[in-house]
């Protein structure tokens, strides 16, 4: 019984680690899911971002809004690093040919609060 439960947990973990995020994005966003997955992977290893927040050890994402015609998306994800966080916002539009393009990105950096800084608040 425990062996089956352990195998199931391992399978879910491996699916989530290697296939899950891209699959979830594709299911939630449809066609722009691939574009968002590429942007997230690129940001995770970007020297500009990692030099400010350190090595990325966590990712969180959410869809901010859908356009009325479903031809625009605003997507936001958070990269959690050793020294801080980077919030990246993507604006996407669907072109006439049906291809999704990024039209704007914005990155907001924030430093992690230390215990001394939290105590003084």
pLDDT digits (tens, 9 = 90+) for 85-113: 999 998 888 888 888 888 999 999 998 76
Question: Domains in the chain, start-ordered, CATH in brackets?
Answer: 21-111 (3.10.450.320)
pLDDT at 85: 92
**In the 3-class helix/strand/coil scheme, how is 42-110 assigned residue by residue?**
HHHCCHHHHHHHCCEEEEEEEEEEECCCCCEEEEEEEEEECCEEEEEEEEEEECCCCCEEEEEEEEEEE
Binned at pLDDT 50, 70 and 90, residue 51 comes out as very high
pLDDT digits (tens, 9 = 90+) for 59-76: 777 666 555 567 787 888
Higher pLDDT among residues 40 and 69, named by residue:
40
Determine what percent of the chain is predicted with pLDDT higher than 70.
61
Is 3 a residue whose pLDDT tops 70? yes
Q: Which long-range contacts (CB under 8 A, 24 or more apart) does 22-30 make?
A: 25/61, 28/63, 29/63, 29/73, 29/75
Is 77 a residue whose pLDDT tops 70? yes
Binned at pLDDT 50, 70 and 90, residue 38 comes out as confident
Following DSSP, what letter does each residue of 7-52 receive, concatenated?
HHHHHHHHHIIIIIHHHHHHHHHSTHHHHHHHHHHHHHT-HHHHHH
Determine what percent of the chain is predicted with pLDDT higher than 90.
13
Computed over every residue of the chain, the mean pLDDT equals 76
């Amino acid at each position: 019984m425990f062996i089956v439960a352990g195998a199931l947990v391992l399978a879910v973990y491996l699916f989530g680690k290697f296939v899950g995020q891209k699959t979830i994005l594709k299911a939630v966003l449809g066609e722009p899911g691939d574009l968002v997955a590429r942007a997230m992977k690129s940001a995770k290893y970007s020297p500009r971002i990692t030099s400010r927040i350190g090595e990325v050890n966590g990712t969180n994402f959410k869809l901010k809004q859908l356009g009325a015609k479903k031809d625009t998306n605003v997507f936001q994800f958070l990269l959690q690093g050793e020294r801080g966080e980077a919030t990246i916002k993507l604006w996407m539009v669907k072109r006439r040919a049906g291809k999704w393009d990024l039209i704007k990105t914005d990155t907001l950096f924030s430093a992690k609060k230390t215990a001394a800084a939290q105590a003084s608040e």
